[in-house]
Amino acid sequence: MDQTQRFDLVVVSNRLPVDRVVAADGIATWRRSPGGLVTALEPVMATSHGAWVGWPGVTSERLDPFELKGGLAGGSFHVVPVELNESEIVEYYEGFANATLWPLYHDLIAVPEYHRQWWECYVKVNERFARAVAEVAAPGATVWVQDYQLQLVPQQLRAIRPDIKIGFFSHIPFPGADLFAQLPWREQVLQGLLGADLVGFQRVEDCRNFGRAVRHLLGYRTQRDTVQVPTENGTRMVRYSDYPISIDAKAFETLGRDPKVRARAEQIRQDLGSPKTILLGIDRLDYTKGIRHRLKAFGELLGEGRIDVGDAALIQVAVPSRERVRTYQRLRDDIELTVARINGEFSTVGDTAVHYLHRSFPREEMAAFYVAADIMLVTALRDGMNLVAKEYVATNTDNNGALILSEFAGASDELKTALLVNPHDIDGIKSAILYAMQMSKTERTRRMRAMRRHVHEDNVLAWAHRYLEDLDRCDGAAA
């Protein structure tokens, strides 16, 4: 352990921000993922001698730490793989994280499953992540733990390395205290989170829910944005606050202006038969995203004759997600059956009502979809933020798109000039679609400019700096 390289800033997440690429000759290499989190943190990590700890996405081999080069401005960061075996993926990730916590934290849209074996595996895997971080964190280092898969890491890490500063950020909602109380291991999860110096959430509502859970289930005193956590030596203060995450708005605007992207967008429109209106949904294939609700609304508008298949086409990109989990398998079957019914009833030889694409696309192709779309549909039933909404806004350089946005997505707190809808209200979605189709150019421009201004001013770099600056100011002292 004494020979281990140490780092002043350590980010830890379930997955590493790298993708494994195997060439035709069988040689495997790693490339940097294009996600917003790594874009935000890479410059900070490069100047802070940083490392990223996480699972590399493979279970068949043990991998040594390595340096990942080729980032922004030639930057690089150290990558520390954490090994997981197949049974741990089933029990810790597919099981406890995504069949227990995910539905519970998304207002029971699906029924959570509670299995002691899953919980025991979750504890074990979190301990492994905590030990991996402890081994590479320099004395007095800053550690930033990411998301619901690793909620026990802050407390476990503090027990091993009390010298370091620990932050935690939840990318998904935190449920109301009455829902969270259903979790058999509720106190352990709260104690795990309170091992951090700063607990961050997407929305003010999540902070309120967390504070109530701490008061009601642990009996700890909270005051404004702090929790008084009893310790052997007195009281330690833990701060919690909202930090709505954003995107690299400049990068998406650049894509929106790219001649190749714009040419591809025009080709998409032509391939669809040049309809007057292109509606777009881009989501992970997840029951929280409200895909069935928007399909139902679109199908009813066609059935009522309020829109015509020759004038309007819906593109629905459903990125594969958790395909081995039964709930997701059933969801895919349900959505594909719905698409088939709509197309069978309303499509013609020349025009298809719903263009359903069940696969992922590179960012340039996603940007072309954004540019081509007249209306973006984000109808999440519950969402921590939903960065697709912000990506669409940033890419819409002509200020001529319309965003229909669920009021239950965190992005609705910020993109206030979107057409906000209750995704459970099918008639409300239908009305918003019709309004967006008839909206004047002046109103479209006014609404979009306001949203574009926000995503540029409050971008992902500002988010990361704000969080890390607040974490740096935490000292754990009693107020």
What string of H, E and C letters represents the secondary structure of the chain? CCCCCCEEEEEEEEECCEEEEECCCCCEEEEECCCHHHHHHHHHHHHCCEEEEEECCCCCCCCCCEEECCCHHHCCEEEEECCCCHHHHHHHHHHHHHHHHHHHHCCCCCCCCCCHHHHHHHHHHHHHHHHHHHHHEEEEEEEEEECHHHCCHHHHHHHHCCCCEEEEECCCCCCCHHHHCCCCCHHHHHHHHCCCCEEEECCHHHHHHHHHHHHHHHCCEEECCEEEEEECCEEEEEEEEECCCCCCHHHHHHHHHCHHHHHHHHHHHHHCCCCCEEEEEEEECCHHHCHHHHHHHHHHHHHCCCCCCCCEEEEEEEECCCCCCHHHHHHHHHHHHHHHHHHHHHCCCCCCCEEEECCCCCHHHHHHHHHHCCEEEECCCCECCCHHHHHHHHHCCCCCCEEEEECCEHHHHCCCCCEEECCCCHHHHHHHHHHHHHCCHHHHHHHHHHHHHHHHHCCHHHHHHHHHHHHHHCCCCCC
Q: What is the pLDDT of residue 269?
A: 97
Give the per-residue pLDDT at 22.
Answer: 77
Question: What range does the domain containing 87 cover?
Answer: 7-245+462-473
Q: In terms of domains, do 240 and 111 share one?
A: yes
Q: Are residues 86 and 149 in the same domain?
A: yes
pTM for this structure? 0.94
Looking at the fold, whether 438 and 311 belong to one and the same domain comes out as: yes
Q: Are residues 288 and 334 in the same domain?
A: yes
Q: Which pLDDT value is given to residue 479?
A: 44
Alpha-carbon distances, residue 346 vs 304, 305, 339 (angstroms): 11, 10, 11
Burial of 90 (0-12, 13-18, 19+ CB in 10 A): middle
Q: Are 444 and 461 in contact (CB under 8 A)?
A: no
pLDDT beyond 90 at 33:
no
Identify the pLDDT of residue 2.
47
State residue 477's pLDDT score: 58
The whole-number pLDDT of residue 67 equals: 86
Amino acid at 309: V
More confident of the two residues 84 and 74 = 84
Residue 4 has a pLDDT of 74
Confirm whether 48 is domain-assigned. Answer: yes
Q: Are 280 and 315 in contact (CB under 8 A)?
A: yes
Residues 139 and 207 grouped into a single domain: yes
Strands 226-231 and 234-242: antiparallel
Residues 169 and 280 placed together within one structural domain of the fold: no
**CA–CA separation, 153 and 133 (whole Å):** 9
Mean pLDDT for the stretch of residues 113-129: 98
Distance CA 315, CA 365 (A): 13
What the block records as the tokens of 266 is: 């025009």
In a domain? residue 336: yes
- The strands making up 419-421's β-sheet, listed across from edge to edge, are 354-357, 312-319, 277-284, 375-378, 402-406, 419-421
Token pair belonging to 214? 């701490």
Whether the Cβ atoms of residue 442 and residue 224 lie closer than 8 Å to each other: no
Q: What is the mean pLDDT of residues 64-78?
A: 71
399 has a pLDDT exceeding 90: yes
Burial zone of 68 (CB within 10 Å; 0-12 exposed, 13-18 middle, 19+ buried): buried
Identify whether residues 333 and 184 lie together within a single domain.
no
pLDDT bracket for residue 327 (50, 70, 90)? confident
**Least confident stretch, 48-62, 220-234, 287-301, 409-423:** 48-62
Q: Which residue has the tokens 């607040």?
A: 470
What confidence tier does 34 reach under pLDDT thresholds 50, 70, 90?
A: low
Buried b / exposed e across 161-185, counting CB within 10 Å, b at 16+?
Answer: beebbbbbbbbbbbbebebbeebeb
> 71: pLDDT confidence band, cut at 50, 70 and 90?
low
Same structural domain, 170 and 312: no
- Statement: residue 224 has pLDDT above 90: no
Give the pLDDT band of residue 3 (cuts 50, 70, 90): low
Compute and round to an integer the Cα radius of gyration of the chain. 23
Query: In the chain, how many domains are there?
Result: 2
Q: Is the pLDDT score of 81 beyond 70?
A: yes
Q: What percent of the chain has pLDDT over 70?
A: 96
- C-alpha 123/C-alpha 93 separation (Å) is 12
Phi-psi region of 452 (alpha: psi -120 to 50; beta: other; left: phi over 0): alpha
Query: Do 169 and 94 share a structural domain?
Result: yes
Least confidently predicted of 68-72, 143-147, 320-324, 452-456: 68-72
Claim to verify: residue 227 and residue 278 sit in the same structural domain: no
Average pLDDT over residues 74-100: 91
Phi-psi region of 377 (alpha: psi -120 to 50; beta: other; left: phi over 0): beta
Residue 2 domain-assigned (yes or no) = no
Q: Identify the top-confidence range among 35-44, 46-55, 75-84, 87-96.
A: 87-96
Q: Which of 286, 297, 168, 172 is nearest to 238 (CA)?
A: 168
pLDDT in tens, 134-150: 999 999 999 999 999 99
**Domain annotation covers residue 200:** yes
Residue 479 included in any domain: no
Assigned domain for 466 exists? yes
Q: How far is Cα 436 from Cα 444, in angstroms, rounded to an integer?
A: 8
Give the chain's mean pLDDT: 93
Cβ atoms of 405 and 412 closer than 8 Å: yes
- Asked whether residue 1 is domain-assigned, the answer is no
pLDDT at 62: 82
pLDDT at 73: 44
253 shares its domain with 241: no
CATH number at residue 261: 3.40.50.2000
- The answer to whether 277 touches 302, Cβ cutoff 8 Å, is no
207 and 321 together in one domain: no
Is the separation of the CB atoms in 361 and 317 below 8 Å? yes
Q: In the chain, what percentage of residues exceed pLDDT 90?
A: 82
